[in-house]
Chain A
């Protein structure tokens, strides 16, 4: 049964973007694009050809493929509900962070390979911000490991009971808030980066993929959807309540994923994008929250 979390991630992850966009459309008083728009976009892109600049090398073509492969491998490590992940071993959360780092490295390398100055700027920002979010992510996961006494993501993220929340509620709440900020930063959502922006000067993630087209861009779209799904699964894994039945737990957790998407949509609707100089402060704040949770969990 351990293939269920992976299967759900593969099938449902592009739907998260649809839910976020619908939530934003609701706040703006628009009807919004169809919920399945990301699937349509990917279908369209897969049927296009790709154009490659003569100045690029194999790194540019490898970027999206390695990125998607790394994200798919990371997806095999993340459980959902009571169902463990396809692959689970002690300290696999380090591999999870490492695979996401590999994905980012190849996205950045492909962006630099184009030689475009805008892409270099976006790559520089992406690397700077991720240098701040990665420690926060690792400290948050270490806190979870410490609280649950488990070292594997599948065991850490089993549905927690109400008694566990009563015992270490403040610690878990801090971890959830830190993970939410990390989710927004890592997936280029609004307080950090604007996914809809069309001005290269302000873009971070989108500017790095400007020169990719066709199937390559479909791969990038799909891997960013998967990445959003994985981070949402971390948050849901801590928050989702436990019921007696494993299938009910799975249903609750899957519903929780879309609740996270709605929360992201609400945050994007009610907040403005932060100035670039303020973003590091937010990310260090997320790291500080995770560190406080870790320290409080020690006693």
Chain B
């Protein structure tokens, strides 16, 4: 219980850190750390009924989110030669304040939702919703394509948190399928970022709308 809560607090703090940071390298590391922390969540949330299922899920999550994704993204950042988000649509202080507001909304929302009895921690559902909101916010408020991929990953982490805590009986196949989907998505996005950069010399998505055939 205490360790689960501790992990959830760390997830909240990593999300806030992402909302307030401009360096892409640091953001990638934070998302990797969040993935590794979340990898331990199924093991800790179901400690008394630990099975091969949860162990495999934890190992798979840690390897994919903690090693493979950061490697892809660092490669994309290195190829594109960008180190920081210069001018996001929403500033960093405003992003932090919005993050806190989103956390408040998540907590309010979860008091109105019917929750299963055996949920691992009362904070689990609000934190999961907060991750989803933070991910969506990152996608709409940042210009760099890498940051938008990170937002997508945070969004997926939120869904994963919710799934681990609420639906303890999810079949392994479904979880593996979700993980594979995300893996393919990040793979494709990494290649896309590389190609965008090679064609247009920048990865700011707002400039893509001004393309013309010439």
Contact with B along A257-299 (1 / 0, CB 8 A): 0000000000000000000000011001101110110011011
Q: Report Cα–Cα, A284/B92, bound state, in Å.
A: 10
Is B107 in the interface zone, CB < 8 Å from A?
Answer: yes
- Whether A296 contacts B123 in the complex (CB less than 8 A), given A169-B6, A170-B6, comes out as yes
- Whether A292 contacts B103 in the complex (CB less than 8 A), given A280-B93, A281-B20, A284-B96, comes out as yes
The answer, among A169, A173, A281, A291, for a CB contact under 8 Å with B100, is A291
Chain B residues near A281 (CB-CB < 8 A):
20, 92-93, 96
CB distance from B90 to the nearest CB of A (A): 14
Determine if A292 and B16 form an interchain contact, defined as CB atoms under 8 angstroms apart: yes
Is B35 in the interface zone, CB < 8 Å from A?
Answer: no
Contact with B along A182-211 (1 / 0, CB 8 A): 000000000000000000000000000000
Chain A residues near B104 (CB-CB < 8 A):
291, 295
Chain B residues near A170 (CB-CB < 8 A):
5-6, 9
- Whether A284 contacts B93 in the complex (CB less than 8 A), given A291-B100, A295-B104, A299-B122, comes out as yes
Q: Report Cα–Cα, A281/B12, bound state, in Å.
A: 17
Q: Report Cα–Cα, A299/B2, bound state, in Å.
A: 14
Determine if A298 and B107 form an interchain contact, defined as CB atoms under 8 angstroms apart: yes
45-88 of chain A: CB within 8 A of chain B: none
The answer, among A173, A174, A287, A299, for a CB contact under 8 Å with B126, is A299
- Whether A292 contacts B5 in the complex (CB less than 8 A), given A299-B107, A299-B123, comes out as no
Q: Report Cα–Cα, A173/B13, bound state, in Å.
A: 12
Determine if A174 and B9 form an interchain contact, defined as CB atoms under 8 angstroms apart: yes
CB distance from A114 to the nearest CB of B (A): 32
Q: Report Cα–Cα, A76/B155, bound state, in Å.
A: 49
Q: How many A-B residue pairs have CB under 8 A?
A: 50
Chain B residues near A288 (CB-CB < 8 A):
16, 96-97, 99-100
Q: Report Cα–Cα, A284/B100, bound state, in Å.
A: 10
Is A166 in the interface zone, CB < 8 Å from B?
Answer: yes
- Whether A169 contacts B16 in the complex (CB less than 8 A), given A174-B9, A292-B100, A299-B107, comes out as no
Q: How many interface residues does chain B have, given as a range? A: 20 to 34
Q: Report Cα–Cα, A166/B2, bound state, in Å.
A: 7
B100, B103, B104, B122 pick with most chain A CB within 10 angstroms: B100
Q: Which residue of A lies closest to B125 (CB)?
A: A299
Q: Report Cα–Cα, A287/B20, bound state, in Å.
A: 13
Chain B residues near A285 (CB-CB < 8 A):
16, 20, 96
Q: Which residue of A lies closest to B5 (CB)?
A: A170
Chain A residues near B93 (CB-CB < 8 A):
280-281, 284
Contact with A along B87-111 (1 / 0, CB 8 A): 0000011001101100110010000
Chain B residues near A284 (CB-CB < 8 A):
20, 93, 96-97
Q: Report Cα–Cα, A285/B12, bound state, in Å.
A: 13
Q: Report Cα–Cα, A287/B122, bound state, in Å.
A: 23
CB distance from A280 to the nearest CB of B (A): 6
Q: Report Cα–Cα, A169/B10, bound state, in Å.
A: 13
Q: Report Cα–Cα, A94/B25, bound state, in Å.
A: 42
Q: Which residue of A lies closest to B9 (CB)?
A: A170
Q: Report Cα–Cα, A292/B9, bound state, in Å.
A: 9
Chain A residues near B122 (CB-CB < 8 A):
299
Chain B residues near A280 (CB-CB < 8 A):
93
Q: Report Cα–Cα, A169/B100, bound state, in Å.
A: 20
CB distance from B119 to the nearest CB of A (A): 11
- Whether A296 contacts B20 in the complex (CB less than 8 A), given A281-B92, A284-B97, A288-B96, comes out as no
Chain B residues near A292 (CB-CB < 8 A):
9, 12-13, 16, 100, 103
Chain A residues near B123 (CB-CB < 8 A):
296, 299
* CB-CB nearest 4 A-B residue pairs: A170-B9, A291-B100, A299-B122, A288-B100
Question: Residues on A close to B: CB < 8 A?
Answer: 166, 169-170, 173-174, 280-281, 284-285, 287-289, 291-292, 295-296, 298-299
Q: Could you list 26 A-B pairs, sorted by A, with CB under 8 Å?
A: A166-B2, A169-B5, A169-B6, A170-B5, A174-B9, A281-B92, A281-B93, A284-B20, A284-B93, A285-B16, A285-B20, A287-B100, A288-B16, A288-B97, A288-B100, A292-B12, A292-B100, A295-B100, A295-B107, A295-B126, A296-B9, A296-B12, A296-B123, A298-B107, A299-B107, A299-B123
